[in-house]
Structure 1
Amino acid sequence: MPMASADHPGGDHEDNPNIQSPRHVVRKIFAEPRKHGDGATVRRSIGTPEMMDLDPFLLLDEFSIPHTGGMPDHPHRGFETLTYMFEGALGHQDFFGNRGIIRAGDVQWMTAGRGIVHSAMPASAGSQTGLQLWVNLPSKDKMIEPTYHEVRRNDIKRVAVPGADIRIVAGEAFGFRSPAYTKTPILCLDVEMKPGAHLRQPIPAAWNSFVYLAAGEGIFGGEKCSPVSGHHALVLGEGDGLSVWNESGEPLRFFLFAGKPLEETVARNRFFVMNSEEEIEKASEDYRTWKNGYENARDWKSETQITTYD
């Protein structure tokens, strides 16, 4: 069993003695629904004018895609994406020939690196819902070769602690490392807490962190804080861990994200994330002229609709 490291922390339940300074909520953002792509609806918390990024995190979307919608062919460079499904199924195709379908509880990890063109289209007759997280790459890795992999639900470690059930979606906790590999060290935990439960989770003091509430109501940071409900992102301040209480009569589901900051300048547009505007312009030119990683874009086009339904 792999143990926690400095870059991938472990965890414990509410009796963990190592949390001396619980992190408090320093910013609360409500993720308003907005239209995106071809018929999709997203609730974006990180990656808006209110909060453009939280180093190393660039974007967090809670998405809903009808079977008639989707995200047609588009390019990326300079960052990684993690897609985690709640319901339905989402099909991926890219110009390297990678194809796959992720369903409820599955994870797709894509490192765009120097360049990739891909699509994300519905593969279920119903609605496809989940989260997509963008994680920045350090300047030394922005032009690496792209990679892509999927992690099935049964391969994601599930840990039971008093009052809570936790899935280790990315990074390392409780002595287990997620199969979802990240160039930039991060932690992503999917936490479901029973009514009346209290949970503590260590976070490296030097890492930035935030919480996204998917369902229910919880108290974060201190017992005297006000409860917060679903579709809110909570940016956490300094400290060595998170304390959470579920004092409601319903289950609470939230995601804890923590990451090692890169401390580099960020330049971005809809598709590319680099370190300068000149690099963004170069990425756009490379995509338009099919070079420096985009050679396959000249002759490639995905299927307009993935029709492998459940």
Structure 2
Amino acid sequence: MSETQEIPIFLQKPRRVVRKFLARPQHEGNGAIVRRNIGRYELKYFDPFLVLDEFSVATPAGFPDHPHRGFETVTYVLEGAIKHEDFEGHVGILRTGDLQWMTAGRGIVHSEMPLGSGISKGLQLWINLSSNNKMIEPKYQEMKREEIMTASTTDINVRVIAGEAMGVQSPVYTRTPTMCLDFTLMPSAHLRQSINPMWNSFAYILQGEGIFGTEKSDPIGPHNLLLLGHGDGIDVWNRSIRPLRFVLVGGEPLGEPVAQFGPFVMNSDEEIDQTINDFNLCINGFEKAKHWRSTELMGS
């Protein structure tokens, strides 16, 4: 990780925490445990974000063959390994620190299953696509741990998954303009990070506890989702004796109607009905789903 000089950032209107959710474990997929933040009853959509899950899964549980259409999925492995397969023949393994930015577009059927005997953990974020992009061809952007751009000062580390921080720019192309930053703050550290004032943004705490928005706020601990109000950036302090790790995410709102049926996200009920029909008949992007099964299911 490169050592960089801290770049002074001056915020005219720092963002404050306007809502807070503690993500509680729930079952998802085939025996997997997730802490769902966005996409839950209290917060079904936070434009342009559809779902944020912190997942924990061990063999034989996982996320076997399932479809997507109309959005992107960002899978970021925190611990362990996840094997990915799809009906286009794309196969890969994501290990600790690896990233997969998948554009489902007009249609993907894939599986995501843990490897090894231990527990695999990570984050998965669903980002909505505009109506102009919902039916584009599927595409992947994948990066190994060592390929993700990083920067550090004496007390702050950042992995720049998307967007920019501390003078470092991620090469990931985001069809819906998005920033995604993995920060670690040492004890007594103070972070000031700019955020596009027109974007929605949130923080999700992975480890430790921090003070977000204003020094007078109470410290907030792990598994909390923090929705941030309007402003041009965020202040974060670590007043504890342990490191604080969190992801900071922001995105440009699409301002379009959302129609969702499970793994399909379109703009109208009619488009959802068409998507269900396409999937059932294996047409209009789902042709290869007719005869494809992942190796996990083929071997069962």
- TM-score bin (small chain): over 0.9
Find the counterpart in structure 1 of residue 141 from structure 2. 149
Q: Is 1:232 aligned to residue 250 of structure 2? A: no
Distance apart, 1:178 and its partner CA: 1.9
Pick which of 137-146 and 174-183 moved more: 174-183
Report the TM-score, using the length of structure 1 for normalisation. Answer: 0.92
Distance apart, 1:176 and its partner CA: 2.9
Superposed counterparts of 1:1-310, under 5 Å: 16-304=8-296
Distance 2:6 2:92 in 1: 39
Question: Equivalent residue of 2:295, what SS?
Answer: coil
Distance 2:274 2:39 in 1: 22
Change (3 A) 1:46 1:86: same
Change (3 A) 1:103 1:281: same
Distance 1:157 1:50 in 2: 34
Change (3 A) 1:14 1:208: farther
Change (3 A) 1:157 1:83: same
CA contact (8 A) 2:59 2:117 kept: yes
Distance apart, 1:306 and its partner CA: 11
Distance apart, 1:182 and its partner CA: 1.8
Distance 2:252 2:161 in 1: 16
Percent identity of equivalent pairs? 53
Change (3 A) 1:154 1:305: farther
Change (3 A) 1:185 1:13: farther
Change (3 A) 1:124 1:181: farther
Distance apart, 1:173 and its partner CA: 2.8
Find the counterpart in structure 2 of residue 3 from structure 1. none
CA contact (8 A) 1:60 1:132 kept: yes
Letter in 1 for 2:37: S
Letter in 2 for 1:166: V
Question: Equivalent residue of 1:51, what SS?
Answer: coil
Change (3 A) 1:148 1:306: farther
Change (3 A) 1:15 1:145: closer
Distance 1:207 1:120 in 2: 30
Distance apart, 1:239 and its partner CA: 0.5
Distance apart, 1:192 and its partner CA: 0.5
Aligned residue-pair number: 296
Question: Equivalent residue of 1:141, what SS?
Answer: coil
Distance apart, 1:174 and its partner CA: 3.2
CA contact (8 A) 2:150 2:168 kept: no
CA contact (8 A) 2:9 2:194 kept: no
Question: Equivalent residue of 2:193, what SS?
Answer: strand
Distance apart, 1:277 and its partner CA: 1.1
CA contact (8 A) 1:219 1:245 kept: yes
CA contact (8 A) 1:87 1:127 kept: yes
Report the TM-score, using the length of structure 2 for normalisation. Answer: 0.95
Pick which of 167-176 and 254-263 moved more: 167-176
CA contact (8 A) 2:212 2:234 kept: yes
Distance 2:243 2:146 in 1: 22
CA contact (8 A) 1:108 1:151 kept: yes
Question: Which runs of 4 or more aligned residues in structure 1 lie more than 4 Å from their structure 2 counterparts after TM superposition?
Answer: 12-15
Distance apart, 1:158 and its partner CA: 1.2
Question: Equivalent residue of 1:60, what SS?
Answer: strand
Question: Equivalent residue of 2:206, what SS?
Answer: strand
Distance apart, 1:210 and its partner CA: 0.1
